[in-house]
């Protein structure tokens, strides 16, 4: 049995390495510039910290790995091209790799990356009259790939732990099982049971566990600067909106009669706050929608702000370096120390934000399923 497990593990490692080597790596060489043109551009072009920061936290159509600047003026950019899936009402469906666009330096079938305006960084289609329109974009972007990676990682973690419990139900946990068990028990005993109740918590446990580990894993992967890390998944408001929407839907579907009755006709509230102007029901209904909104914004803002502050400290090196190289070298020590400090702080924030999102979701589930003593409503 042990030899079979080792054999399967070796096969998995070989498979992962093979997939990594067979990825369609895209190597782009920049055009060589004339020395006069290059020197003139170096004098006029200044470091823009805003562009530098937002290029690192925004989504992308390819997965940048690294760049190499050569002495002859050439630069080599190594990136993994990702599938671009577009539907245009003018030209139909298009599927191609992002390498066709050469990181925004080329166009393909009238599609190109917008460099300015509200659609900056997005793929636009140029019509025959010169106008640019935004097609329906179903592309597999960097954040989408990072989500797939985190989902596969979670499946491996949960299935491995489940099989370990099936094989050795009476044995103490070991390895990955011992690492995950404290978190699973914490979510069950300190979050789900107290907030939802002993009788109803079990049906919400799969979602709460998935929510916690999905947010935590993506927060941690966003702190890793090398592939397959570096994607800003939970710092993307579209992702946090979907997570908050799931919590909102589960809360609304799970709400019992008392939950909806207390929202419309809350006991203990004076009648003049209900009739003729339903002030309290309006406030309660508005609160039902603001709860997921707060969940969405809290996670998005905390993760994005951490990345921006860390990159801001790192940008100080280039800002002071433009004044004088000595200033750049001098500030680099302080900048790197603050960047490392922010990185350590973000490790803590990554866990706290996953905990807070899971805690508040469980609280909303508990409020929706709680059974109240029936009283006379005024």
pLDDT in tens, 69-111: 766 666 677 788 889 999 988 888 999 888 888 776 778 888 8
pLDDT tens digits for range 330-355: 888 888 888 888 888 999 999 999 99
Q: Which candidate, 199, 284, 214, places its Cα nearest to that of 244?
A: 214
Question: Quick check: helix, strand or coil at residue 96?
Answer: strand
Sorted by where each begins, the domain ranges of the chain are: 2-137, 142-369
| Phi, then psi, of 368 in degrees rounded to 5 | -75, -25
* Of 200 and 173, more confident: 200
Q: What is the full DSSP assignment across 236-273?
A: SHHHHHHHHHHHHHHHHHH--HHHHHHHHS-TTS-GGG
Cα gap 1→167, rounded to integer Å? 11
Q: How many of the other CB atoms lie within 10 Å of CB of 296?
A: 22
Quickly state the pLDDT bin for 206 (edges 50, 70, 90).
Answer: very high
Q: What is the mean pLDDT of the chain?
A: 81
pLDDT tens digits for range 222-264: 888 888 788 889 999 999 999 999 999 999 999 888 888 777 7
Sheet with 123-126, edge to edge strand ranges? 111-113, 123-126, 132-133
Mean pLDDT of 270-287: 74
| Phi, then psi, of 87 in degrees rounded to 5 | -130, 120
Share of the chain above pLDDT 70, in %: 81
Distances, alpha carbon 200 to alpha carbons 257, 270, 367, in Å: 16, 32, 12
Task: Specify the pLDDT at position 294.
Answer: 93
Cα angle for residues 333, 338, 339 (degrees, 5° grid): 95
Query: Is the distance from CB of 134 to CB of 119 less than 8 angstroms?
Result: yes
């Amino acid at each position: 049995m042990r030899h079979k497990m080792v054999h399967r593990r070796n096969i998995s490692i070989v498979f992962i390495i093979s997939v990594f080597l067979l990825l369609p790596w895209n190597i782009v060489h920049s055009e060589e510039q004339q020395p006069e043109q290059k020197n003139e551009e170096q004098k006029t072009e200044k470091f823009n910290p805003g562009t530098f920061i937002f290029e690192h936290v925004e989504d992308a159509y390819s997965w940048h790995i690294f760049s190499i600047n050569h002495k002859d003026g050439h630069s080599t950019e190594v990136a993994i091209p990702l599938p671009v899936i577009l539907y245009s009402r003018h030209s139909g469906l298009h599927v191609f790799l992002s390498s066709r666009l050469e990181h925004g330096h080329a166009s393909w079938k009238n599609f190109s990356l917008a460099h300015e305006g509200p659609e900056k960084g997005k793929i636009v289609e140029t019509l025959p009259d010169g106008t640019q329109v935004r097609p329906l974009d179903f592309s597999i972007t960097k954040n989408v790939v990072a989500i797939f990676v985190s989902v596969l990682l979670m499946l491996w973690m949960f299935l491995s732990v489940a099989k370990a419990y099936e094989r050795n139900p009476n044995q103490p946990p070991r390895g990955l099982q011992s690492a995950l068990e404290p978190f699973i028990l914490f979510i069950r005993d300190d979050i789900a049971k107290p907030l939802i109740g002993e009788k109803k918590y079990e049906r919400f446990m799969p979602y709460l566990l998935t929510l916690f580990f999905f947010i935590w894993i993506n927060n941690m992967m966003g702190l890793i600067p090398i592939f397959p890390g570096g994607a800003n998944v939970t710092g993307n408001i579209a992702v946090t909106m979907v997570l908050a929407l799931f919590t909102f839907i589960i809360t609304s579907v799970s709400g019992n009669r008392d939950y909806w009755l207390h929202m419309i006709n809350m006991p203990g509230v004076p009648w003049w706050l209900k009739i003729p102007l339903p002030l309290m029901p309006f406030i309660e209904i508005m609160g039902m929608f603001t709860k997921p909104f707060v969940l969405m914004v809290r996670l998005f803002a905390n993760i994005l702000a951490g990345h921006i502050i860390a990159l801001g400290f790192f940008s100080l090196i280039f800002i002071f370096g433009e004044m004088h190289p000595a200033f750049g070298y001098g500030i680099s020590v302080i900048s790197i120390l603050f960047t490392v400090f922010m990185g350590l702080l973000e490790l803590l924030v990554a866990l706290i934000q996953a905990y807070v999102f899971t805690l508040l979701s469980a609280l909303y589930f508990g409020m929706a399923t709680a059974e109240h003593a029936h009283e006379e409503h005024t």
